[in-house]
Structure 1
Amino acid sequence: MLVAGDAARPSTGQTLWFGESGHGAAGVAWDWVRLPYGVVAMADPMALITNLQLINTAGEVLAPMESVRQLNEIVHALPWQSEVQRALGVH
């Protein structure tokens, strides 16, 4: 989803990254905002939406705060900003 901005408000949108495996589909979604100078950032790094359940090396489900930290590391490793810039028509 993309909402083009103007002089009064920035462009905003939502990104969804997903993949399929033998266990089914997995995805992570987040809202983003285009800041001054064309910088694209997550609108709220704590507001990730996912169907993933992360576990530690002992097989225990991670606490919500630890899951958010791990998911943020995953999101920051993805080339999503360049895809948003492409969708916005920014080079």
Structure 2
Amino acid sequence: MTPAWIVYAWPRVLCEAQHAQSLQFAHLSTQVLVTGDAARPSLGQTLWQGAEGQAIAGVAWDWISLPAGLVAMVDPMALITNLQFLNPAGEVLAPLESVLQLNEIVHGLPWQYEVQRALGLH
């Protein structure tokens, strides 16, 4: 299974911010790092990849299980990616602006289903 943090080693991919939502990401892997029980939640990482032209982009993050089979991102500000977003003038977006772009991408992915599947809930 591909470790989620390998995305740091992938070549940087430049993407115009206005086209970020058109990127098509697919599930690459989900890992359960801590199997929870009644006293503590399960924890893990998930990794998604997509293409921007000929380049391969990736985004990964940590997740945590919640009661009733729900899962959530551990920290929506701590996404790992090799994407670098550009504004219409071709300038690199500030980190906060990039995180907003990444969270919009993540929001559109069926990642909770994949995590629940890894936990044996589906």
More contact order relative to length (CA 8 Å, sep ≥ 6): 2
| Cα displacement (A) at 1:19 | 2.4
Identity fraction in percent: 75
2:54, 2:98 → 1: CA distance? Answer: 20
Deviating more after overlay: 20-29 vs 42-51: 20-29
Matches within 5 A, 1:10-21: 10-21=41-52
2:118, 2:86 → 1: CA distance? Answer: 34
The superposition leaves residues 5-35 of structure 1 with CA deviations (integer Å, 9 ceiling, x where unpaired) of 1111101100000124543221001000011
TM-score by structure 1 length? 0.91
| Cα displacement (A) at 1:70 | 0.7
Matched, 1:33 2:101: no
| Cα displacement (A) at 1:37 | 1.4
1:22, 1:7 → 2: CA distance? Answer: 46
Q: Which runs of 5+ in 2 are unaligned?
A: 1-30
Matches within 5 A, 1:1-91: 1-2=31-32, 3-91=34-122
Cα distance 1:68–1:20, how it changes in 2: closer, same or farther (>3 A)?
same
Q: Which SS does the other structure have where 1:18 is aligned?
A: strand
Q: Which runs of 5+ in 1 are unaligned?
A: none
Q: Which SS does the other structure have where 1:16 is aligned?
A: strand
Which of structure 1's runs of 4+ aligned residues deviate more than 4 A? Answer: none
Cα distance 1:45–1:87, how it changes in 2: closer, same or farther (>3 A)?
same
The superposition leaves residues 52-86 of structure 1 with CA deviations (integer Å, 9 ceiling, x where unpaired) of 00111222111000000110010010000001111
